[in-house]
Structure 1
């Protein structure tokens, strides 16, 4: 499937001619931006989508187009409450899903925060690591039995993973000066490593996992950024020799997600990092924005993060 699409491909182009009738998807963060577009594209092709969201009222108001697409495309759409920054909320959501017994073909871990001020989740974890990684780690593992054999886990990461590897000794910045971009980089690397280890543990039943970079998109993910913070980021990238950012539209940004979830081959994406509707190469070195850093795909690092994450959430999987 690699090479059929590119950075400019949209969700509708990627899914052209694809019938998703009977397929069930769980997507976190269906309140705006990429989550809404991903859900819209899938239900328009007949899929049944459950959106897990922090604010049900906000999500309902933001998803009129999803319900319209479901009505015209033969799909179904529903919402369930989930606050990834609260392990109690994560467990409640998982319990409801398990109790319903409904299976999923694909789980898409789409929700996240970026470059937040220093703070903590309800359980005392650094906000970005706790929300972007630990919340999804607990949710996905608790509902793993609901993923059909041959199903998939798709984690949304970012080129931001290139900023920093995870710090397994100090994940909550207790001994390290806080930097919002370092924290973001750690959490996005964790998203990739989680996919690598989940893929290793579940591929025996045909369940594959991957992580991906959707692209640079103007969504409310950057709502915590001040103008000076954005200027500092751009200046730092230029000083490092990185090329200028080329922004995507939201349908272009969500294209890699639907490609990985419903179009790409199992063997193609399992344990991989994807970008621009294809599997991205490992590209180490300064001044590079494209591709995966080697540390994000390191199997030993992935296993170590899994162990630390289990200790932090207080459950073994």
Structure 2
């Protein structure tokens, strides 16, 4: 089972033969791309999905077909969540806690990438505040709803290799802003958050992991100019050719969603917990030079002491202890 899926597997391949009836799953970012495909596959296989989105009207349009075609007992409901506003995160968490129904999985999928320099409602750098701190607060505030045997899956990225977290200057107050460095910091934070969340909740049977979906053309890249993306792919292909490797291939959205499902429902928990997964496999530690598309996770992203330090700094930033 551990080796039967790979880079070209789709969400439906991974979930084939699996009945998710009775499972309740929270998915963030269900207004486009991976979030919509994640919700679709879950509902198709019988799960009750709570889909969170900043723009509910957009999410309604994006998921209308899912709700219309729901079968096998699966269903989708939407809740409002703006990860760039801690007030919105608190309101969403409060509503879910008041409802009281448990979750079998939380897939923290929403995010932004390579944004211009800016700030969230509370003044945090946009990418770190949205991608990490918003999810950090949401997940911790609803952690008691996660049922024993449940899993947290943080959607991270190979972009974590651009930068470790900077706990001394997370908001680029003294560091020159670079959108890719900021993205890298936020994605490293996603992985470290999974590492420490897993350590804290293992005893009650709730585990956490982080996944890289792969290179996919979605709205996530909307802040990149088309020619910028083309130049990046050309550079990657030149390097791959020099290394005697085949050219880069984009993943489809269904292929991009596959690893989230593999880590949530297929792989044994003890194999993926506190780890970083890609292409439906647990990634190896990678040191030294790497091409932008080569597999592997940087050791700093899985460092347990770094994970504890990030947790403490994150609590300080959001003004709450968990």
TM-score by length of 2: 0.95
CA contact (8 A) 1:240 1:287 kept: no
Equivalence map 1:62-77=2 (5 Å): 62-70=62-70, 72-77=71-76
Q: 1:169 aligned to 2:168?
A: yes
Q: 1:38 aligned to 2:43?
A: no
3-state DSSP of counterpart to 2:84: coil
Structure 2 residue aligned with 1:22: 22
Deviation at residue 259 of structure 1 after TM alignment: 1.1
Distance 2:305 2:234 in 1: 34
CA contact (8 A) 1:216 1:245 kept: no
CA contact (8 A) 2:21 2:72 kept: no
Deviation at residue 67 of structure 1 after TM alignment: 1.0
Distance 1:69 1:138 in 2: 33
3-state DSSP of counterpart to 1:4: coil
Distance 1:150 1:295 in 2: 27
Structure 2 residue aligned with 1:157: 156
Distance 2:251 2:235 in 1: 21
Deviation at residue 2 of structure 1 after TM alignment: 1.9
Superposition RMSD on alpha carbons, in Å? 1.5
CA contact (8 A) 1:40 1:69 kept: no
Q: 1:312 aligned to 2:317?
A: yes
Deviation at residue 233 of structure 1 after TM alignment: 3.9
**1:33-66 superposed Cα distances (whole Å, 9 cap, x missing partner):** 1011111101111100000100111100100232
Structure 2 residue aligned with 1:261: 264
Distance 1:12 1:274 in 2: 18
How many aligned residue pairs are there?
316
CA contact (8 A) 1:31 1:53 kept: yes
Deviation at residue 230 of structure 1 after TM alignment: 2.5
Deviation at residue 239 of structure 1 after TM alignment: 8.1
| Structure 2 stretches lacking a partner, 5+ long | none
CA contact (8 A) 2:157 2:214 kept: yes
TM-score by length of 1: 0.96
Deviation at residue 229 of structure 1 after TM alignment: 3.5
Structure 2 residue aligned with 1:99: 98
In the alignment, which of 267, 278, 281 is matched to residue 278 of structure 1? 281
| Structure 1 stretches lacking a partner, 5+ long | none
